[in-house]
Structure formats: C-alpha cells, structure tokens
A and B are shown apart, each in its own frame.
Chain A
Amino acid sequence: MELLVCIKQVPDDTVNVTMGADGAPKLDDIAPVVNAFDTYALEMAARFKEANGGSVTVLTIGGEGAVPALRSCLSVGADRACRVEEASVCDPQGTAYLLSQASKKAGEQPFDVIFCGSESTDAASGQVGAQLAETLGLPVITNVLALEPKDGGISAKQETEDGYRVVEAACPCVVTIVKPDYEPRYPSIKSKMAARKMPVAVLTAADAQADASKFGPEAAKVQRAAISAPPQRQSGVKIQEKEAAEAVRRAMEIMVGQKLI
C-alpha cells in the first residue's frame, strides 16, 4: 500500500514554555521537533509497510527550516519526503485543505492510507486529520492504536476510554494516530547518513493547485482570541476523603508524618 504521513514541526514539548511581555509564548530558543503524535504515526506507517509492502511518504507545510524534520523522518522509515513551501496557513481547516491538495501531488501513485497524529503538542486542536478526510471525501478512523490490512481496506484498533474497539474502512482513508504500545525507532547511523543524501521534494501552493483563498489568512473561520499561561500548580497535598472525620484523620497523619505537630 502507498502510505502518506502528514507531519508538523512543534516546539520541543519537554521544554517549559514561558510567556513574553507581548502575551505570546517565547519560542525562539526552543528547538523545533517533529510532533510526538506524528512520530507515532510514522512508526506505525513504517511497521505497516515492513509487514505488508508499499512505501511511506512524509508531507509537511513549511520553509527550508522544515527540511531537518523531514530528513529525520527519512532516517526512520520514510522513503520519500515532500514539503509545501507555504508560510501563511490560517487555521486547521486551511491546513487540511492545503494538505489535501498537496497529497494529490506528493506521491508517485495515489495514497491508500493517510496517517496524521491525533493532535499536535502545541496547538492541540485535534482537527486536521478529520478535516483532511472531509476535504478529500474519505473515511476517517480517529485515535488509532494499531492497524492492519483487511480485505483491500484496513482494520484499526480505535482507542476508547476503557480499551479499544475494532473499526474497518475501505481504502483510501485517513487515520489519526495516538500513542501505540511501542516507541518510535531510533535512526541507525547508516539510515541517518543515507537520509542526508535523499531528495526532499518541494511543492508550491500553485503546484498543488491550491486556492489561496481557501487556506490563506483571509480564509480563517476561527481566530485565536487570546493565549495565556496555565495557572501555577498549587503546592500541597489534596485530601480527598469524603467524610469530614476521615479527612481530619488524614490531615493529622500527614502533619505527624512530616513532624509538623
């Protein structure tokens, strides 16, 4: 099967982000990395290809700065990489539209399964995968934990609160990926060196026959009104006993344990 994985670069989510005086997050010194959910999607696609044949293409929207991220994907299982040279994409719907157009040009053959991370670790709208499917008129299975081919389509384990349910879809389709029970692979030195020499295809919006009025700033259907830092976590211990007497007993225990009384 021909597999496409859409990736996004996000600020390294292990770094504590602080807010600048202008009310925006200070991101200048934070290294961009491939969104964690997209790395799971790529690993799942790579395993799917290794088990069932086919090829994996990674696609992103961004300038030259996105090339290292795409090369890192090429070193861990992707066969081809493509970026859409476009800086101003308005909102998740605009992103989905541009990706949908680019997906028609990014591969040598039409894609059978399009993988997206279930959400990004920065904006976390969780919309792009579903909207991409909508724009392309394809079925979508969200929150996928595992995937296998079945009767020319796919069978997926979709995460639920208590476990998973099995959902099937015909190909082509879109899947959004959550954390599976394995980790993304490490590149080997050989695959990393090979990835350095692999080409990264570039598409402009015009190449993709994308209409700027559908993804540019004026196309925005939602606007970010404000952004604020999360409240500081309160220090202390939460006493959760429901009965008053139990709660007092617990509080006394804690204070005695800490030699406070």
Chain B
Amino acid sequence: MNYQTLSPELIQQLSAIAPGRVFTGSDINEDYAHDEMPIYGKSVPEAVVEAASTEEIAAVMKLCNENRIPVTPRGAGTGLVGGAVPICGGVLLVTTRMNQILSYDVENFTVTVQPGVLLNTLAEDSASKGLLYPPDPGEKFATLGGNVSTNAGGMRAVKYGCTRDYVKAMTVVLPTGEIIHLGSSVSKTSSGYSLLNLMIGSEGTLGVITELTLKLIPQPKETISLIIPYPDMESCIATVPAFFMHHLNPQALEFMGKDIVISSEAYVGKQVFPRKIDGVEAEAYLLVTFDGNDADELDAVIEKASEVVLEAGAIDVLVADTPALKRDAWAARSSFLEAIMADTKLLDECDVVVPVTQIAPFLGYVESLEETVGLKVRSFGHAGDGNLHIYCCSNDLEEAEFLPRAEKFMEAVYIKATELGGQVSGEHGIGRGKVPFLAKSVGDVNMRLMEEIKKVFDPNLILNPGKVCYKL
C-alpha cells in the first residue's frame, strides 16, 4: 500500500482540528515510538495527535482517509505485541486525554467512560460505589479503550470472563470518519451481526473507540486467597480440573513455578511463598482467590478446596485471610513481568491459550525447547483458563543472534499449541508481532475472511496497518 507522507499543509489542518495537541519532529515524546515489548521494533510517527473528543477523532480520520495517511490509535501504550506502534509512520492518534468517567447507571449496573480512562481508575472509582468491574488484566494502567481493543482477560477471567463480556455499547469512529454507535444497555439482543463484538478485540484496525458503556456487578463482600505449594508442576496443574469438578468456583486460579516466584519476590523485596514445608521442597504453586458475600460460606469453600488439593498432592495450603496477607500474596504474582524484564536483557513473549488439561504436557514441551533453541524459558499463567505467558530470554546474546532463536522458539510453541487445540493469543492480541503465527494457526480461509472484513471497514487500509490480519 502506498501511503502519503504528512505535508506541512496537512499538519496545519490537523492542528486546526486539535489546537495545541499536535506534535511533530523532535517534539514527539520517544515513548510514542514503542509499546512495552520493544523487540517488535520502534517506529516514530510523523505526527502525534492527542485527541480530546469523538468529533476531533472523526475529523482526523476523515482528513487522513482522504489523503491516505496511516493512522495508529494508541492508549497508554502498555501492549505487548506492538499493536500501537505506528510502523508506517503517519499519525499516532492518542486517546489518553479522553479520560473521563462520564456517568454511572447504578440501577442497570453500567458505567459510561471515555476510552482513555485507566483500568485502575475505574476499578477504584467503581469500588467506592460498591461495584466491581470484573476484568482484571495484570496491567492496571492500561486504558479501557486498549483493554476492549485487545479483549483483555486477566486473573478474574476464570470466573467472570474477559472484557468482551462487560462491553454493552460503544461509540466508534470508522476509518472514513463516520461516527457509529454499537450495542445498547439492554441485556440481550438478536439483532443482526454483532458489530459490537467484531469491534472488541479488533486492536484498532476497524475503528477508533471513543466511548464505552461497560457492565458492572455488585462488589463481592468477602475474598480469601490460598497459596498452595506442590512438589512438582505436574501435580500442580493436574489439580486444576478438580476445582471445577467439585463445584468450587474460584475468582482467580494462577499457577507459577518456583524460579519465577523467587525472582519476583526478590524484585518486590518480600518473601511470602514458602520454599520448604515439613522437609518437602515446593517446586510449583497455585494461587487461588475465592469471593462471596458471607465469610462463613467462604470458609466452607476454602475447607473444601483444601481437602481437594491436599488429596491431589499439594504439600500444604496457606490462607491469605487479611488484607495485608492477600496484598502480599498477589504482589509477587502481579510483578512477574516486571521481574522478568528487570533481570533480562532480551526477551520475547507469547500468551497462547491451550485446553486446561493440556497445560502440563504443553509446559513440558516448552521447557524442552530451552536446550533446542538455547534460550532461557520462563512461564506462568492463568491455570483456570489455560492462558499461559511464556517468555524466552537471553542475557548473553546480541539482538541479531537472539531474534532468529526467538523466532524458532515461537514457531515451535505455536505449532504445538495449535496441535493441542490452542489459540495464538489468550489476551494480548496479535498486533504486529504475532501476525505470521495467526495466519498459520487459523488457516487461509479464516485469514481471507478477516482481510475482507478489514477492507469493508477500512477501504483505504489506513487504520493501524500491518496489524492482526493485514500484512504490509
């Protein structure tokens, strides 16, 4: 695709649309050239527009569409697949100034927000009203627009589902500049193709989200977490289906190996996961949270859960039943990515999702690749839904040596995941980094359908080029 470069006249027109909020040349903050996985490349846009309204975004899109200027939407830039990196230059359309919580409808349990509101902001604000926004991705400082664009999951997905399950309606600016409204606050619909669901997870390739109506639920009154150490990863993962067989319904169910726990606790500066219990070394852990509205009921649940896991080979069950203990238990888990990044020079990541029963054999295979490709492998993930975060890392190699090894590693990982009935991404998206792997995983026909859908929304292919299904 031949795109135009931004002329001084076009920059002037952009400045007229968003006065004082258009940046070019050396005025562009270097953070706008990358997301949090710089291994997929950095790219500086020709101009940054920090948009303030739906109408401004519509005007920017119309101008860029007419002049074939590529536009890349960007929230907080916390993505991990290069989805918000402007690889074709053009305009980077930043939504972080649109950060207002517009209104609550407490009777219908919805909230309407601008796309630049941070997940953490909504979580705290809704909690102060006794409400919960259930999606809980690890990155709390991502924007809600970004969360919807990637259908972000997170740790509570095992009980409450992903972001998709909480989007009731949205306003979208199409690449042509038209403004559309999708969905509504009603509870059910059978009204034609769900463009709303098509937009969710489309990673800013079909339209720019400018307003969202999201579903909330009453905040559970009580939560309690369990740290469950195991002598090996196999017995740890093998326990997972037992939670569901016994009608236990955890809010979060995470697994982690000993190595990553040690790294993360060193990073956080606090040790809470036991290393040795009654002379038995812990090699793997489950970290589980249950929620409910009654403390006694919850006590009965954790007793039952403990019975189940101890029978399945857990060494012990530790109970985080105070705010401080819960906070400390989850602090290590929440810092895994930062801990890995802090002690790794080069890394690449995938977030495949496999059937829960295949987690253990899949991890075994992934670890066996350490020797084959010559990279250190770290992994953790959402045991309850089979979504795994797997990192290949190196501190010794130069980037030119690392990249082909990482590619070999990722290729093997995705082939295996597909064989086991898995998917390329559970929650991070495809962005730029995973495009070739998606094509291999879903096949030609599915890719063709996605490409054709892309063209219907974006006939000039100006919106977020080079991402998801549209290869440059």
Q: Show the binding face of A for B, using Cβ within 8 Å.
A: 12, 14-15, 31, 33-34, 36, 39, 72, 75, 182-184, 186-189, 192-193, 196, 258-259
A183 and B270 in contact, given A14-B327, A189-B302 (Cβ under 8 angstroms): yes
Which residue from B23, B272, B322 sits with its C-beta under 8 Å from A34? B322
Any A CB within 8 A of the CB of B323: yes
A186 and B327 in contact, given A193-B303, A259-B23, A259-B27 (Cβ under 8 angstroms): no
Report the minimal beta-carbon distance from A172 to chain B, rounded to whole angstroms.
30
For B329, the chain A residues whose CB sits under 8 A away are 186
Measured CA separation A12–B323 after assembly (Å): 7
Measured CA separation A12–B325 after assembly (Å): 12
Any A CB within 8 A of the CB of B356: no
Q: Are A189 and B319 in contact (CB under 8 A)?
A: yes
Measured CA separation A7–B226 after assembly (Å): 25
Q: Are B23 and A188 in contact (CB under 8 A)?
A: no
Which residue from A15, A72, A189, A259 sits with its C-beta under 8 Å from B322? A72
For B274, the chain A residues whose CB sits under 8 A away are 186
Residue of A nearest to B130 (CB): A29
A186 and B323 in contact, given A259-B23, A259-B28 (Cβ under 8 angstroms): no
Residues 294-324 of chain B, each 1 if its beta carbon lies under 8 Å from chain A, else 0: 0000010011001000000000111111111
Q: Are B29 and A259 in contact (CB under 8 A)?
A: yes
Q: Are A192 and B327 in contact (CB under 8 A)?
A: no
Number of A-B pairs, beta carbon distance below 8 Å:
54
Residue of B nearest to A75 (CB): B319
Residue of B nearest to A14 (CB): B323
For A188, the chain B residues whose CB sits under 8 A away are 316-319
Q: Are B325 and A186 in contact (CB under 8 A)?
A: yes
10 tightest Cβ-Cβ pairs between the two chains A and B: A186-B318, A189-B306, A189-B317, A12-B323, A187-B319, A192-B319, A259-B29, A188-B316, A259-B27, A14-B323
Name the residue among B23, B303, B324, B329 with the largest chain A CB count within 10 angstroms.
B324
Any A CB within 8 A of the CB of B370: no
Measured CA separation A134–B226 after assembly (Å): 42
Residue of A nearest to B222 (CB): A31
Any A CB within 8 A of the CB of B240: no
Which residue from A31, A33, A182, A187 sits with its C-beta under 8 Å from B318? A187
Q: Are B27 and A14 in contact (CB under 8 A)?
A: no
Measured CA separation A254–B344 after assembly (Å): 28
Report the minimal beta-carbon distance from A20 to chain B, rounded to whole angstroms.
15
A72 and B321 in contact, given A188-B316, A193-B303 (Cβ under 8 angstroms): yes
Any A CB within 8 A of the CB of B271: yes
Measured CA separation A33–B27 after assembly (Å): 50
Residues 19-61 of chain B, each 1 if its beta carbon lies under 8 Å from chain A, else 0: 0000100011100000000000000000000000000000000
For A75, the chain B residues whose CB sits under 8 A away are 319
A183 and B328 in contact, given A189-B303, A189-B306, A259-B28 (Cβ under 8 angstroms): yes
Q: Are A33 and B272 in contact (CB under 8 A)?
A: no
Interface residues of B in 247-271 (CB under 8 A from A): 270-271
Measured CA separation A189–B317 after assembly (Å): 6
Report the minimal beta-carbon distance from B417 to chain A, rounded to whole angstroms.
35
Q: Are B319 and A183 in contact (CB under 8 A)?
A: no
Report the minimal beta-carbon distance from A162 to chain B, rounded to whole angstroms.
20
Measured CA separation A34–B318 after assembly (Å): 18
Any A CB within 8 A of the CB of B468: no
Residue of B nearest to A30 (CB): B323
Report the minimal beta-carbon distance from A122 to chain B, rounded to whole angstroms.
14
Report the minimal beta-carbon distance from B469 to chain A, rounded to whole angstroms.
34
A183 and B271 in contact, given A14-B324, A188-B319, A192-B319 (Cβ under 8 angstroms): yes
Any A CB within 8 A of the CB of B212: no
Measured CA separation A189–B306 after assembly (Å): 7
For B23, the chain A residues whose CB sits under 8 A away are 259
Name the residue among B272, B316, B319 with the largest chain A CB count within 10 angstroms.
B319
Which residue from B29, B271, B323, B328 sits with its C-beta under 8 Å from A33? B323
For A14, the chain B residues whose CB sits under 8 A away are 323-324, 327
For B272, the chain A residues whose CB sits under 8 A away are 183, 186
Residue of B nearest to A193 (CB): B303
Residue of B nearest to A260 (CB): B27
Report the minimal beta-carbon distance from B308 to chain A, rounded to whole angstroms.
11
Measured CA separation A192–B302 after assembly (Å): 11
Between-chain CB contacts (< 8 Å), 23 pairs: A12-B323, A12-B324, A14-B324, A33-B322, A33-B323, A36-B324, A39-B324, A72-B322, A75-B319, A183-B270, A183-B328, A184-B325, A186-B227, A186-B318, A186-B320, A186-B329, A187-B319, A188-B316, A189-B316, A192-B321, A193-B303, A258-B29, A259-B27
